[in-house]
Amino acid sequence: MDYLIRESNQGDKDKIHDFNKELKSNGINYSLTSSFQKEFKESDFIFERKFILTENKIKVIGGYTLKSQWFKINDDLFQIGYYYNPVTAGLFNKKYNICGVLLLHDAQKKYGNLFCLGMGGYSESLPKLLKGLNWNLQKVPFFFKVCNPYPFLKNIKYLNNTKFKSFLTTLMSNSGLGWLGIKIFFLLMSLFCVRIKKESNIIVKEMGDFDENVEFVWEKAKEYNSFIAVRNSEYLRTLYSNNKFIKLKFFDSGKIVGWSISLCTQLDNHKQFGYMKLGSIVDCLSLKGYETSIIKKTSQILKKKGADLIVSNQSHIFWKNAFKMNSFVNGPSNFIFASSTALSKKLESNIKSKNHIHLTRGDGDGPINL
């Protein structure tokens, strides 16, 4: 058999469609995208390339997407690769089991500094493969805060994945005990986390465009991050121009001190959150010391918009502490950060790297499924 990996093009649409039909007929929910972006230049700030794996140069049996983006690693800037959505016929035919390794090897030839993000937990096939190839894997902590207990109890799938759990959840919900218990719990959390230090008078404004204010925040904040995507105005404009995003900037005494990007989405039978109205703090950056105030203000706005539950994934110690100070609970996470051996060596060279890696839902392939 002759295997070939190449960049896909408009002429491959029918072949990709046939492969996706084969995946679906075998009960596989993954698929390759057949949409193509405008032509890119290597100098572009962020760009994606899509690759397919063919058998005998005719049949598509797999593919992946490679996103290129600038990151600050310790004190230097690197254009590194994000490897995602690898799909192969090996998911339903053992004859093609080697294909997953072929795709990953191809991506690593293009970028030694490579990472993956999300992936659904350690039990999934991609994290298992990465672990076997000596990649470094770690969970990105998940934080949540319940705003409306009744919709939360009714819809949260984690509490309804067994008959016994479902019975208890229904009982708590219908009796009102669940509502009362959750309200008391988060009240106690907020009292426990109350700050003695007087809070600055933070002013919140919606962002129309991403201007020099964003550049100022990036320049002031980057030194406290050992691994972070370059979060300048071009980054924000590329990823968050869509009007669905709630784009906020924060000022103290007329000076910008940070920004946040959020979503407030009415879900429709989501696999984890059912039919809740979900608030998600997707991305954020601030001057040191303002993290807690920014999460507080952002959460208040999401609550006013009717969010039943507010969630976020955060890896940086400053932001993890900010969520805890705002009475968010650290819950089970299936959001995995995996770094190639080359990238891991760079991160390990800085003793502070683990606590100062800044990853959010905005990294990788963005806030999908939120």
Cβ proximity of 256 and 286 under 8 Å:
no
pLDDT of residue 149: 86
Cβ proximity of 93 and 43 under 8 Å:
no
Whole-angstrom Cα distance, residue 266 to residue 302?
12
Cβ proximity of 152 and 324 under 8 Å:
no
E strand or H helix that includes residue 151: helix 149-155
Determine the distance from the C-alpha atom of residue 258 to the mean position of all C-alpha atoms in its chain, rounded to a whole number.
20
Whole-angstrom Cα distance, residue 328 to residue 137?
24
pLDDT of residue 183: 60
DSSP state, residue 274: B
pLDDT of residue 166: 56
Backbone angles phi, psi at 349, to 5 degrees: -75, -15
Domains 3-112 and 142-331 share a fold: yes
Cβ proximity of 143 and 312 under 8 Å:
yes
pTM (two decimals)? 0.85
Strands, DSSP E only, in the chain? 3-7, 46-55, 59-73, 76-88, 114-119, 136-139, 142-146, 202-206, 227-229, 246-252, 255-266, 277-286, 309-313, 329-331, 335-339
Whole-angstrom Cα distance, residue 85 to residue 97?
16
* Domain spans of the chain, in order of start: 3-112, 142-331
Beta-bridged to residue 368, according to DSSP, are none
Cβ proximity of 57 and 2 under 8 Å:
yes
Q: 206, exposed or middle or buried, with CB in 10 Å at 0-12, 13-18, 19+?
A: exposed
The superfamily CATH assigns to domain 142-331 is Gcn5-related N-acetyltransferase (GNAT) (3.40.630.30)
DSSP state, residue 304: H
CATH code for the part of the protein at 3-112: 3.40.630.30
Q: Tokens 């032509």 correspond to what residue?
A: 39
Q: Tokens 């072949």 correspond to what residue?
A: 15
DSSP state, residue 269: S
Cβ proximity of 71 and 78 under 8 Å:
yes
In order along its 370 residues, the chain shows pLDDT tens digits of 799 999 999 999 999 999 999 999 999 999 998 776 666 666 677 889 999 999 998 999 999 999 999 999 988 999 999 999 999 999 999 999 999 999 999 999 999 999 999 998 999 999 999 999 999 999 999 999 999 888 888 887 665 555 545 544 554 555 555 555 566 666 666 666 555 444 568 999 999 888 889 999 999 999 999 999 999 999 999 899 999 999 999 999 999 999 999 999 999 988 888 899 999 999 999 999 999 999 999 999 999 999 999 999 999 999 999 999 998 999 899 999 999 999 999 988 865 677 899 999 999 766 655 5
pLDDT of residue 198: 47
Q: Which amino acid is at 107?
A: A
Whole-angstrom Cα distance, residue 248 to residue 203?
10
- Residues, the chain: 370
Neighbours of 201 (CB within 10 A): 9
What residue spans of 26-142 are helical by DSSP H? 99-110, 125-132
